[in-house]
Chain A
Amino acid sequence: MESDKIKKLIDSYFEAETTIAEEQEIREYFRKGEVAPELQKYGPMFDHFAQAKEETYTGSMPRRSRKKIYSWLSVAAVIGLGLGLFLENRYSEQQQEQEQEQAEYAYQQTRKALQLLASNLERGTEKVAYLQEFEIATEKIYNNP
């Protein structure tokens, strides 16, 4: 009888001495539903294992996009940062040039002003020398009445 064979299989099943094929045979026996009364108590066990095997994962699978987006994002970030630094550099270079020009201009202006002053000073000393001449002359006149 089939149930005698199954009963023996179940006994060795609990000793973990059955093969996978034999265990499938036991599950199949319970699945068919014509279970001998003395074996019915084991039914829930094999039913549960069969049911449990039916469950499937319905969550999402990893997609390449997430990682790809990150790598493109990092490339974009590097480009952005580089561009920013480059422009900043150019800007400060321009500013430096401008400052240099301004300094040069200021220097030239100052030089001009100083030269003007100097030439005027020279002219001043000339005049002073002239004045001195005049003083000598006046003294001559005063001392020789």
Chain B
Amino acid sequence: MVTIANQPEMNQSEFLQAVMPVKDKLYRLAKRLLVSKEEAEDATQEVLMKLWAGKKNMSNYRSVEAFAMTMTKNFCLDRLKSKSAGNLKLVHTNYTDSSPSLQQQVEARDSAGWVSRIMEELPEQQKLVLQLRDVEEYEFEEIGEMLGMNPTAVRVALSRARKAVREKLLEKHSYGIG
């Protein structure tokens, strides 16, 4: 915040250098929330465009990353909200209650795919902390900064999320065996 004032505006290659290491993280976060690959790519592109438009204020690399992650989270949550407001259910939730589709059966055989499906059903905050910690390996302080939570609240949410996944996973696991 303090050092921003006299920084010259980034040019394109500086911008790309700052953003390239982050873009995959943005995409993975978007995909965790939106599930569909196309929508996640769309969201990532939107966020990158917004960052590019606001690049004047980007000077501190560390905070760019946190800022971009927060932006992606907000963008995706808004999108989900406007979707449920418009009564448009996500495609993947449309076939959860019917008898298992072929795709589900295929996914069920791929055990890492189970976890992906289990995570789809978690509350958004739990999805976010799991994604940011167990996939992206951020510290609690960083996650707190991104989600607007204090580190203790992050720890509590994370423990809850991990246990929720474990519970569902063990259910599935015992199905698979028994």
Contact = CB atoms under 8 A, between A and B. Distances in A.
Contact of B166 (A45, A48, A56): A45
A108 B169 CA distance: 106
Interface string A33-60: 0000000011111011101110111111
Given A14-B163, A44-B115, A62-B52, A57 B155 contact: no
B23 interface: yes
Contacts of B12: 63-64
A14 B116 CA distance: 18
A17 B155 CA distance: 8
Contacts of A24: 137
B134 A61 contact: no
A90 B133 CA distance: 70
B112 A56 contact: no
A41 B169 contact: yes
- Majority SS at the chain B contact face: helix
B49 A62 contact: yes
A16 interface: yes
B159 A48 contact: no
Given A45-B166, A55-B31, A57-B41, A16 B49 contact: no
Contacts of B42: 59
A55 B28 contact: yes
A43 B156 CA distance: 23
B34 interface: no
Interface string B23-52: 110111001100000000110110011011
8 contacts: A16-B159, A41-B169, A49-B134, A55-B24, A57-B41, A59-B27, A59-B44, A62-B49
